[in-house]
Structure 1
Amino acid sequence: MDGVECLKDTDVLHNGSQRDQEAARRLARRLYHLEGFRRSDVAKHLGKNNDFSKMVAEEYLKFFEFTDMTLDQSLRCFLKAFSLKGESQERERVLIHFSNRYYQCNPTVITAQDGVHCLTCALMLLNTDLHGPNIGKKMTCQEFINNLDGLDGGQDFPRELLKSLYNSIKNEKLEWAVDGDELKKSLSELADKNHHSHTKSISRISSGSNPFLDIAHDPNAAVYKTGFLARKIHADMDGKKTPRGKRGWKTFYAVLKGMILYLQKDEFKPEKALSEDDLKNAISVHHALAIKAMDYEKKPNVLKLKTADWRVFLFQAQSPEEMESWIRIINSVAAMFSAPSFPAAIGSQKKFSRPLLPATTTRMSQEEQLKSHEAKLKHVSTELAEHRSYPPDKKVKAKEIDEYRLKEHYLEFEESRYEMYVKLLKEGVKELLTARDGDAALKKSQSSPSLNQESQPAAAKVKRNTSERKDYRPETPKVIEQLGQFEQNTLRKQLTHTQVQVPVIVWWSPLTGELGRLGECGHNRCFFTVNKSYHSHPHTKAFLFYGTDFSIESLPLPRHEQHQWALFHEESPKNNYKLFHEPVITLFNHTATFSRRSHLPLTTQHLEGLSALSTQTHLLPLSYKNQLRRTLAPVAYIQSDCDPPSDRDVYVQELMQHIQVDSYGQCLHNKDLPPHLRDSTAMDDQDFYQILAQYKFILAFENAVCDDYITEKLWRPLKLGVVPVYFGAPNVRMWLPDNRSAVVVNPNEPPKKLAQYLKRLDKNDGEYLKYLEWKQKREISNVNLVTELKERPWGVQDIGQDSFIDAFECMVCNRVWENIHRQEKKLPSKVWRAEESHLTCPPPKLFEFAVSPSSSLRQIWRASYEQSRREARALGLMLRRNRNFTVTQFWREVFTD
């Protein structure tokens, strides 16, 4: 019997038991020595907000000896050991652990421990200012010193210390390690515009504001408004379009507390501490503007929120009145408490750069704040008029025109923002926020917001877009018993028959985020929700898991006999390796994965249909491609994920020694795309297609080697009429349109041999055209592919069909009802189970041509693969006990031999 088999419920972390400490010590040692972990794995184990993670971080930092080292030397040493990635809160916790360790080693250098942390964050932001791109006037040494006045435990830092640190960062930028150590990245990418600090916990003794410090998540801040909101992320930082997979609508319980809009999964409870997800989803409304989303017509009652860093969110409220209330209160809080902006960057370069917008709370009175906004509005309006008076000449470069438009867009937005702020402050924020509809009243304060707790809102009425789902919308409301108030309200509007027992299906690790929706699946109906309080409800029949977010820290335990588990996981192993091992995969009754063995195969999730393959829209004459060979290589490569288990870049790098390859992505980059196509969201742009269609070959190398794992990397060249050179799924020939429609890479042969073959095809038009014969004749001979595309119960980019998410939900719903009907007939329930070999992904291995093992990242991925097997074994054991367990207990089991 394993040593932790007899763990009792009392064996929970209490101030760090000896066994917990030993488990933390072992994990820290393996993280430091990268035994089974990559550099990019380290930060997530050090930065979690739980006692065990804190113990691991403390043990990890003990491997660093900073005694008699300067702060900048220590920080450089620390950052070279791992990759500091993750959410801002996670990175902040890691830096706090670093600061604590430095203070332990050097207790007399800096007065206070908080001072070390403050100075650490200041160095990172100084690094961004001095070495980051798109910045005009650089921060001077005197400005750096002035910004840190009084922040060393209420005292000033030694002036000579600050001068020394400034010169150190100026002369040599901070860098941190990435997996494989073959790349270095500037910390200017880390300390981005979205987070001008990683310091929420510093005790602010000085009366002066510090632009390095971010807004604190103050537990005593006033709550201005609460209520249900559905959120859609429309644009990321700097207005960059959010990738398609992250734009979905999700419903939250929104809490505007201080200047932070928290988006929580459960209703607000003042006494409850903020969770990791609460911090992750939080949005600061400083310098933000909320307006009605006039250009969005798919849903009613939608407001648009644009934040200081130019992220854009859409929020759907419950009613027009609620939408207007949220707009009014968000703008009022932003107008009342946003601190004046810093001056815009000044420099000789023409590139426009927005000024910094501090996240701190203003110290002005309401009257002073109004005067400040009026002055800013006047200045912006004047600047906009001057800007429009000098439009660029039509003959200038496109880049200069883009810069002109960017600045004009910025000034227009700023003008509208300050117009709104001035209007609200002139009307009087007190009267504006006084509750006609239940909103609380704003109390005047010069330093921080202060509001009375508002009353709880009525139950939300969330509708789902018809393009996302076909909801059942009956006419006569009926009483539904044994459900929560919100769900009762929803069902009363949707059910027609009395006393209908509706199965509840809970998205436990949610992909959709809906609090409640009655979905119609043929003749069956199920109620889908993300409300985890339905774990033990008698109507709950199934739990749905989105594989990427499947976490050992939150599982629906104990698992009751009627509970079915369903896995939706369209991604490759690198997103959650332990799902690919037995016994974890066999925990699920229903699956929707890329595997053909799945109950709902998603192998063709990136392929619209047969017509998309056979179209000749982008097919170019071979004679034209031959002419382009004077300026273009015969082969194109587009990849920006340079650290996958397939280790594709090692192969491509060797291939490039023997044949010319144009590489447009960040990996092995040697050729630039036009500026408007450099964002990842432009991969489906027609201009991007036109560029790729000019090549004879496109390297279609997957990030993992698994049967049936096929992505747009293969389908895209097939659609464009380019021959894909494919490396990935060993059984790819099962999915090709024709026996000769792609060049399939043999990983056991050297790249030189492949290069020679591609050169022969490049010079022999007849042989090359054999690979496009199926395309020219529009003949798809692969019966398996044709059958799969015709019979799949979902569509891609087709509003006339259900999406694969809808199909997954309905598959589970219909199977739940199948067992309900069997029970009615006194028959035993049917049991579904995923096969052990469901996801066939062999361990990563080195290419045989790779002479030096250290040249390949697959060494790292192999260790990660073995580590995930240990985690899967431990998780299987913990789940067989069928009771809740702590993170500490899990890691004990992982390291139990």
Structure 2
Amino acid sequence: MLSGFTMTSWRMRQYLLIITVWLGGIGTCMLFFQYNWSGCSFQTVPSDLAPVFRQSTTTSDTSPSTTPADSHPEKPILLVWVWPETDSFKFDPVECKRRHDIDGCFLTDDRDLYNRSDAVLFYHKGIKKDLSNLPQTPRPPFQRWIWFNLESPTNTRPKAGLENLFNLTLTYRRDSDISVRYEMTVRKRPFENIVIPKKDKLVCWFVSNTSPGTGAWARIQYYEELKKHIQVNIFGNMAGQRLKDEDYYPTMSSCKFYLSFENSIHKDYITEKFNGPITAGTVPVVLGPPRENYEQFAPGNSFIHVNDFPNASLLAQHLLQLDKDNEAYSHYFDWRKHISVVPHYSIWNEEFILPICQACDYISRHKEYKQVHDLFKWYSS
């Protein structure tokens, strides 16, 4: 009797173990397919459940004592999947703290931390057309993907399969989740005296891209007409030699006016071509979106818009008149008494540091889960 009872109990335990494993497998599959990985869509996971899912999907094959991210366990992880322009461009995360006083996340490009990353940053131009260099494993349900693009719609090539793939947008547009802007802030105390840098050139332009296929032809046409009426000092590849990084601001500050001509005209597309002269102490002459759009980012008396004049000839006459009237010219700097602006970095590729740092700051402050739909329809609107 004892032997039969033991055998029966053993079989019952065996059956119970099989049932437990089977039920556990179903639960695992339900969790695994909480979102649909089809290469282009997923379902919303409530943000209040994200911490639970994160804990359950954290990899255990890396020792906490040897994982760099564990030195900052309280900070969210931002994984840069593809560095902008080239993998040779990387920067030390301490630059976010040093330059922009941002220290809210753990910034890394270690793909082994993918399953633990709170957000993953994808630079649009770095994504292959067939999407083959995107993660090939399912996305952790708590994780957010960030679409990073600083090019205008004219210079952005849509890629099929990305339309409904992202949670957040990081672009120049004001209606992006993370909008890239060099700061303008109201001074606590107004400046009494504004020192305008010494000028020995009237009009300057730093330009390299003159290809008509990129949407830059409109600014070349305007320049060709303008130079018939006023001398324009050209620097950059158009002049046959690229300006050295260390000469960028000194040269720009020596010009009374700078041609801040964007390579294409779109809403909110106001780039470092405007920020550079503003911070260097030079008056920008802008060609881009309407004046009203510029005034959403900068004081109206800080720049001259080409649309303020019927043609390039009358614009040239205005600049020549200001060259002879120091008092009238100085009024373009009155705004500096009350507002300060942060300069962008002139070294090639360093303009990407600010947006990446801003993404870091965003994910440390915002935990809500979003979805982006019709990405390219929105971006071209």
Normalised by the length of structure 2, the TM-score is: 0.60
Partner of 1:725: helix, strand, or coil?
strand
- Indicate whether 1:732 and 2:294 are aligned: yes
State the one-letter code of the partner of 1:595: R
1:812 to 2:378 alignment: no
Q: Output aligned runs, 1:737-816, within 5 Å.
A: 738-746=299-307, 749-775=310-336, 778-780=337-339, 804-812=355-363, 814-815=365-366
Match of residue 635 from structure 1: 203
Change (3 A) 1:486 1:639: farther
Higher relative contact order, structure no. (Cα contacts within 8 Å, ≥ 6 residues apart) = 2
CA RMSD of aligned residues (A): 4.6
* 2:226/2:316 contact within 8 Å kept: yes
Contact 1:548 1:575 in 2 (8 A): no
Q: Which of 631, 645, 666 is 2:215 aligned to?
A: 645
Contact 1:534 1:540 in 2 (8 A): yes
Return closer, same or farther for 1:739/1:492 CA change in 2, 3 Å cut-off. closer
Equivalents in 1 of 2:373, 2:184: separation in Å? 27
- Structure 1 residue 726, shift from structure 2 partner: 0.7
The alpha-carbon distance between structure 1 residues 650 and 762, as it changes in their structure 2 partners (threshold 3 A), is: same
Instruction: Give 1:508's aligned residue.
Output: 81
Aligned 1:447-466 pairs, distance under 5 A: none
Q: Is the 8 A contact 2:146 2:169 kept in 1?
A: yes
Task: Indicate whether 1:831 and 2:360 are aligned.
Answer: no
Cross-structure match for 2:150? 570
Report deviation, 1:756. 3.2
Tell me the secondary structure at the aligned position of residue 726 of structure 1: strand
Counterpart Cα distance in 1 of 2:103 and 2:321: 58
* Aligned-partner Cα distance in 2 for 1:752–1:492: 59
What one-letter code is carried by the residue in structure 1 that aligns with 2:272?
E
- Say which SS state the counterpart of residue 67 (structure 2) adopts: helix
Question: 1:733 and 1:545, CA in 2 relative to 1: closer, same or farther beyond 3 A?
Answer: same
Distance 1:810 1:696 in 2: 37
CA gap 1:603/1:803 in 2 versus in 1, 3 angstroms: closer
Structure 2 distance, partners of 1:554, 1:483, is 25
Matching residue's letter, 2:133: S
Structure 2 CA distance for partners of 1:750 and 1:507, relative to 1, 3 Å: same
Q: Is the 8 A contact 1:548 1:571 kept in 2?
A: no
d(CA) in 2 for partners of 1:662, 1:806: 35
CA gap of 1:808–1:525, structure 2 versus 1, over 3 A, is closer
Aligned to 2:71: 494
In structure 2, relative to structure 1, the CA distance for the partners of 1:720 and 1:529 (3 Å cut) is closer
After superposition, what is the alpha-carbon deviation per residue over 1:600-640, rounded to whole angstroms, capped at 9, x for unaligned?
A: 21122xx58667x97945533xxxx5xx5xxx5x3222212
Q: Is the 8 A contact 2:180 2:358 kept in 1?
A: no
Q: Secondary structure at the match of 1:567?
A: strand
Q: Residue 808 and residue 522 in structure 1: after superposition, are their counterparts in 2 closer, same or farther (change >3 A)?
A: closer
Within 5 Å, which residues of 2 pair with 1:121-270?
Answer: none
Instruction: Work out which of the two has the higher radius of gyration on C-alpha atoms and give 1 or 2.
Output: 1
Task: Please report how far the alpha carbon of residue 729 of structure 1 lies from its aligned counterpart in structure 2 after TM superposition.
Answer: 3.6
Q: Check whether the contact 2:102–2:357 (CA below 8 A) recurs between aligned residues.
A: no
Matches within 5 A, 1:70-469: none
> Which deviations, in whole Å up to 9, do the C-alpha atoms of 1:314-352 show, x marking residues without a partner?
xxxxxxxxxxxxxxxxxxxxxxxxxxxxxxxxxxxxxxx
Shift of residue 482, structure 1, vs aligned partner: 2.8
Tell me whether 1:550 sits opposite 2:127 in the alignment.
Answer: yes
- How many Å apart are 1:836 and its aligned residue? 5.2
Cα 1:840–1:707 change in 2 (3 A) is farther
Instruction: Judge conservation of contact 1:645–1:703 (CA < 8 Å) in 2.
Output: yes
Structure 1: how far apart are the matches of 2:361 and 2:311? 47
Distance 1:482 1:773, change over 3 A: closer
* Match of residue 718, structure 1, among 278, 281, 296: 278
Aligned residue among 193, 210, 228 for 1:657: 228
Work out whether 1:706 is the aligned partner of 2:257. no
Kept in 2: contact 1:616–1:721 (CA 8 A): no
* In 2, Cα distance between equivalents of 1:681 and 1:637: 15
Cα distance in 2 for residues equivalent to 1:547 and 1:523: 25
Change (3 A) 1:548 1:694: same
* CA positional deviation for 1:743: 0.8
| Pair 1:697-2:257 in alignment | yes
Match of 1:285 in 2: none
| Cα distance between partner residues in 2 of 1:586 and 1:765 | 54
Mapped partners of 2:90, 2:302: distance in 1: 41
CA distance in 1, matches of 2:311, 2:380: 22
Change beyond 3 A, Cα 1:596–1:525: closer
Q: In structure 2, what is the Cα distance between the partners aligned to 1:702 and 1:657?
A: 21
CA distance in 2, matches of 1:495, 1:734: 38
Post-superposition Cα deviations, 1:67-105, rounded to whole Å, max 9, x if no partner, equal: xxxxxxxxxxxxxxxxxxxxxxxxxxxxxxxxxxxxxxx
C-alpha distance in structure 2 between counterparts of 1:716 and 1:505, whole Å: 29
Please state whether the residue corresponding to 2:66 is helix, strand or coil: helix
- What are the Cα deviations for residues 790-822 of structure 1, in whole angstroms up to 9, with x where unaligned? 9xxxx977xxxx95423313423554xx36xxx
Whole-Å separation in 2 of the counterparts to 1:725 and 1:717: 9
Q: Residue 591 of structure 1 contacts residue 834 of structure 1 at CA under 8 Å; is this kept in 2?
A: no
Percent identical pairs in the alignment equals 23
- The superposition leaves residues 833-873 of structure 1 with CA deviations (integer Å, 9 ceiling, x where unpaired) of 3785896557xxxxxxxxxxxxxxxxxxxxxxxxxxxxxxx
Superposed CA offset, 1:215-251 (max 9, x none): xxxxxxxxxxxxxxxxxxxxxxxxxxxxxxxxxxxxx
Counterpart of 2:178 in structure 1 is 600
Q: How far apart, in 1, do the equivalents of 2:362 and 2:285 lie?
A: 36
CA contact (8 A) 1:640 1:665 kept: yes
TM-score normalised to structure 1 length: 0.28
Question: Matches of 1:642 and 1:652 in 2, distance apart?
Answer: 11
Cα distance between partner residues in 2 of 1:522 and 1:666: 35
1-structure distance, mates of 2:60, 2:196? 54
Counterpart contact for 1:567–1:590, Cα < 8 Å: yes
Q: Within 2, Cα distance between the matches of 1:704 and 1:558?
A: 37
- Within 5 Å, which residues of 2 pair with 1:5-84? none
Matched, 1:589 2:167: yes
Alpha-carbon distance in 1 for matches of 2:311, 2:134 = 46
Question: Are 2:221 and 1:682 aligned?
Answer: no
| 1:712 to 1:544, Cα distance in 2 relative to 1, 3 A | closer
The 2-side partners of 1:596 and 1:756 are apart by 34
Q: CA deviation at 1:772?
A: 3.2
